[in-house]
Chains A and B, each alone.
Chain A
Amino acid sequence: MKVSFFSTCLVDQLFPQVGASAVRLLRRLGVEVDCDPRQTCCGQPAFNTGYASEARKVVSHFIRVYRDVETIVVPSGSCAAMIKCHMLDIFPEGSPQYQEVVAIASRTFELSDFLVSELGVVETGARFSGTVTYHDSCHQLRELGISEQPRTLIRGVEGIQFVEMKNSTRCCGFGGTFSVKFPDISAELGRDKLRWIQESKAEYVIANDVSCLMHLDGLLKRERIPVETMHLAELLVK
């Protein structure tokens, strides 16, 4: 099996270790991984802020990079949802780009979904001693319907303590440009989440989106709460 890995811009710029972990994980499971050096972003920041033509520009570049690829794997529910559920909305139905997006969308997989649903993986061979909880990122959960796959993989880690937190499906408050347009609500919602994470007694909070984790980690650090954030891919190569 050969896949092309779309790291996403946030991983590329801010959390390269997450991308590196994901690639190592895939290779460990026997997947041949290619990372196209031309990749940039899925266009979501512009699209979610109402800048359709700017989003179109970025997505056009994305299409150029990924049009000939058989399988695309993304370590983010949100970016995968942008590709699978929203890219279509910015091109007129029936246009050549629309057709290309339809094809690309059907070949794109969020990482945990790819591992569990496509490869049938349950255990990745990871070992980790620590108590973790899982945060459902919104787009992964509600747009892609992925909820069990990451949990299956977490449970498959040897030596791990997995506890569900209260309200794991409630938004962490990040919301892309929402977090800077309404920073006070965003932070308030994030602090709600921190409370539930702390109540769960977990030492680590796991999610499949570095955007949620960046927001939560920023709050945890500012509030000096000793809980660490970790992307699922990082956990699965431990």
Chain B
Amino acid sequence: MNRIKIDVASALADRRLQATLFPALQRSVESRDEAVSEVENWEELRDYGRRVKLHTLEKLPFYLEKLEKNVVGHGGKVLWAESGEDAVRMILTIARERAVRKVVKSKTMLGEEIHLNQGLLKGGLEVIETDLGEYIVQLCDEMPSHIVTPALHKSRHDVAELFEAKLGMEPTDDVAKLTLTARNVLRRHFLEADLGISGVNFGVAETGTIVVVENEGNARLSTSLPRVHIALMGIEKVIPRTVDLSVLLKLLTRSATGQRLTSYVNLISGPKREGELDGPEEFFLILVDNGRSQIYEDQFLRQTLTCIRCGACQNICPVFQRLGGHAYGTVYQGPIGSILTPQMFPIAAVEEHPFASSLCGACEETCPVKIEIPKILLRLRQQVQEARNHGIQRFRPERIGMLMWAWVVSSSRRYAIASRWLRRLQSVLFRNGRFRPAVPPVSAWQKDRDVPGLAPKRFREYRESEGAEH
């Protein structure tokens, strides 16, 4: 099992990143706030969204089967993948049977989650990301650093350098020229591709429609130009009805990009029908579990699956605003990543992540479906500590410290005695806002901050000395 550490040092030392990240995220937060302020009943919509998603989860098998039935009714095919590897294998089989050579992909975080690109490349296919951000990230062989804006960590200047090196473009900082270049390159790929792969924002059970939200038109081209379209959908993305969609779409686009509606909302119901001019000949919907049903087991933690991947929690999170996505070392990053990833993998692999939060609660406050992220983080912290409680790990300094602390403060007598002893200790070690020598956790604290030190008199004695009566 590979342990994923959060790379704080590199992120904080990266001057370019620190210069672009926070202002960019603050702009996202501001446009989200503005878009939300236009909606009078925003709180009601949030409640509705949360209720719909929780209800769907409660009856998940029912809605998934309904979705399947209706997709099949439109002439689509539905496949069920238990793991990420299963899903990749299914896609490779479909591609092989149809002699596919080139694949165009529109944005799918699930694709990232199951390492789809690597799988397709290994299977001998050419894969092109067509979302501009994803395309940039693919060109530099990196991972997305944000759920919605994958190339968040790149400045316009970075992109110019990249396009110069990889696409032989003339040096320019002109965004219009940069996007035009990408468009010209991508257009060719759209026309040549045999297979288009997309993600799914919502799967409407009642109508068998999948919904793909985007701004660049690349998802529409990826899902309609190639002869085969495969939509990858996490099983938690199903929703009951089209009316629910109207609310969830509002919640999603305003939270994600501060838009009233995205430039394109693709509603896809099966392949091209007789007499239709556009659309793929074949349509596959792959429903992926990949650890989701494990999350589903716990009544409280289940709400993690209501996430609609808007990225608003990432934008507002102070920790994410300083670290960016890559430091987390995981596909899903920031607040949602820190609750999702530990539930999908063995928790010990990402045991740092639930602690990488000051529990400020800004994420929950902004979440369009009111996921109680801080409470979930707290629960996961408990799971991490419990998982550590065997073998030599039981004697870790932190736990010994906590045990001693709890023993002391759960008795007023022991607390009073310890208070006196700590003051004696302090009188020897403490000078001018620092302890010398210092052990953790004090050493971590005083690296950047002065330590207040224990007051000479405790509250009660202090008041006595002030002459207060009790």
Q: Is A235 an interface residue (CB 8 A)?
A: no
A192 to B319, CA, bound (A): 12
Asked if B463 and A20 make an inter-chain contact with CB atoms under 8 angstroms apart, the answer reads yes
User: Is A35 a contact partner of B460 (Cβ separation < 8 A)?
Assistant: yes
Q: Is the CB of B445 within 8 A of A180?
A: yes
User: CA of A181 to CA of B419 in the docked complex: distance in angstroms?
Assistant: 24
- Residue in A40, A48, A171 whose CB lies within 8 Å of B410: A40
A40–B409 contact, CB under 8 A?
Answer: yes
The A-contacting residues of B in range 393-446, CB under 8 angstroms, are 398-399, 402-403, 405-407, 409-412, 415, 419, 433, 440-441, 444-446
| Most-contacted residue by chain A among B319, B356, B451 (CB, 10 A) | B319
Residues from 448 to 468 in B contacting A, C-beta threshold 8 Å: 448-455, 457-463, 466, 468
* Given A48-B378, A175-B359, A178-B357, CB of A189 within 8 Å of CB of B462: no
In-complex Cβ contact of B405 among A46, A142, A170, A185 (8 A): A46
Asked if A95 CB lies within 8 Å of chain B CBs, one says no
Bound CA span A65–B365, Å = 33
Q: Which residues of B contact A179 (CB under 8 A)?
A: 358, 444-445
Q: Is A100 an interface residue (CB 8 A)?
A: no
A146 proximity list for chain B (CB < 8 A): none
**Bound complex: CA A45 to CA B378 (Å):** 12
- Cβ of A173 and Cβ of B463 under 8 Å apart? no
- Provide the bound-state CA to CA distance between A173 and B323, in Å: 13
Contact between chains at B405 and A7 (CB < 8 Å): no
A157 to chain B, nearest CB (A): 22
The reply to whether A185 and B322 form a contact with Cβ atoms under 8 Å apart is yes
Point out the residues of chain A lying under 8 angstroms from B444, CB to CB: 179-181, 183
Q: Verify if B355 is at the interface (C-beta below 8 Å from A).
A: yes
B-facing residues in A216-231 (Cβ within 8 Å) = 217-219, 221-222
Check if B360 sits within 8 Å of A175, measured CB to CB.
Answer: yes
Q: How far, in whole Å, are A189 and B18 apart by their CA atoms in the complex? A: 12
Query: Is B382 interfacial (CB 8 A cutoff)?
Result: yes
With A16-B457, A183-B445: A49-B360 Cβ-Cβ less than 8 Å: no
Contacts of B354 in A (CB 8 A): 50
A129 within 8 A of B: no
User: Is A142's CB under 8 angstroms from B463's CB?
Assistant: no
In the complex, A123 has a CB within 8 A of chain B = no
- Contacting residue for A61 out of B318, B359, B409, B458, CB 8 A: B409
A-chain residues with CB within 8 Å of residue B419 when the two chains form the complex: 13
Considering the complex, give the chain B residue whose CB is closest to the CB of A85: B375
- Total number of residue pairs linking A and B with CB closer than 8 Å: 200
Closest chain B residue, CB of each to CB of A179: B445
**Could you tell me the distance in whole angstroms from the C-beta of A11 to the nearest C-beta in chain B?**
6
Residues A175 and B358 in contact in the complex (CB < 8 Å), given A23-B468, A50-B381, A50-B385: yes
B344 at interface, CB cutoff 8 A: no
Contact, CB under 8 Å: B441 / A180: yes
Contacts of A54 in B (CB 8 A): 402-403, 405-406
B interface, over-half SS? helix
B452 to A16, Cβ gap below 8 A? Answer: no
A193–B12 Cα gap in the complex (Å)? 16
A160-176 vs B, CB cutoff 8 Å, 1 = contact: the mask equals 00000000011101111
**B412 CB, nearest partner CB in chain A, Å:** 4
Q: How far is the CA of A35 from the CA of B419 in the complex (A)?
A: 18
Q: Is B454 touching A142 in the complex (CB atoms < 8 A)?
A: no
Taking a contact as CB atoms under 8 Å apart, the answer to whether B378 and A183 are in contact is: no
Q: Scoring B residues 366 to 407 as 1 if CB is less than 8 Å from chain A, else 0, what string do you get?
A: 000000000100101111111000000000001100110111
Q: Is the CB of B355 within 8 A of A182?
A: yes
A51 touches B378 (CB 8 A): no
A-contact 0/1 string along B39-64, CB 8 Å cutoff:
00000000000000000000000000
Measured between alpha carbons, how far is A48 from B406 in the docked complex, in Å? Answer: 13
B399, B441, B460, most chain A CB atoms within 10 A: B460
Chain B residues positioned under 8 Å from A173 (CB to CB): 318, 358
Q: Is A58 an interface residue (CB 8 A)?
A: yes
Contact partners of B217 in chain A: CB under 8 A: none
**Residue B75, interface by CB 8 Å:** no
Chain B nearest Cβ from A153, distance in angstroms: 22
B359 in contact with A48 (CB, 8 Å): yes
Is the CB of A106 closer than 8 A to any CB of chain B? no
CA distance A83 to B129 in the complex (A): 50
The answer to whether B378 and A188 touch across the interface, beta carbons within 8 angstroms, is no
Are A171 and B360 in touch, CB under 8 angstroms?
yes
Residues of B within 8 A of A50 (CB): 354-355, 378, 380-386
Query: Does any Cβ of B come within 8 Å of A41's Cβ?
Result: yes
Asked whether, in the complex, the Cβ of B452 is within 8 Å of the Cβ of A14, the reply is yes
Q: Which residues of B contact A143 (CB under 8 A)?
A: 361
Partner of B358, one of A12, A16, A186: A186
- A215 interfacial by beta-carbon distance below 8 Å: yes
Chain A 26-43 against B: per-residue CB contact (8 Å), 1 yes, 0 no? 000000001101111101
Contact partner, A184, options B9, B403, B411, B415, Cβ 8 Å: B9
Does B463 lie within 8 Å of A23, measured CB to CB? yes
Residues on A with C-beta less than 8 A from B359 are 48, 138-139, 175-176, 178
B120 at the interface (CB under 8 A from A): no
- A183–B445 Cα gap in the complex (Å)? 6
How far is the CB of B14 from the nearest CB of chain A, in Å?
12
CB–CB B449/A45 < 8 A = no
How distant is A184 from chain B, measured CB to nearest CB, in Å? Answer: 5
Sample of 19 A–B contacts (CB below 8 Å): A9-B409, A14-B452, A15-B452, A15-B455, A40-B409, A50-B384, A51-B406, A138-B360, A142-B362, A179-B445, A180-B441, A181-B355, A183-B445, A184-B8, A184-B448, A185-B8, A185-B356, A189-B318, A189-B358
Q: A61-B409, A178-B358 are in contact. List 20 more A-B contacts (CB 8 A).
A: A16-B459, A19-B463, A49-B385, A49-B402, A50-B380, A50-B381, A51-B385, A51-B402, A54-B402, A57-B406, A58-B410, A61-B410, A89-B375, A138-B359, A178-B355, A180-B440, A189-B318, A189-B322, A219-B448, A222-B433
- A-B pairs with lowest CB-CB distance, top 4: A175-B358, A218-B449, A50-B381, A171-B360
- Chain A interface residues toward B at CB < 8 A: 7, 9, 11-17, 19-20, 23-24, 34-35, 37-41, 43, 45-52, 54-55, 57-58, 60-61, 65, 86, 89, 138-139, 142-143, 169-171, 173-190, 192, 214-215, 217-219, 221-222
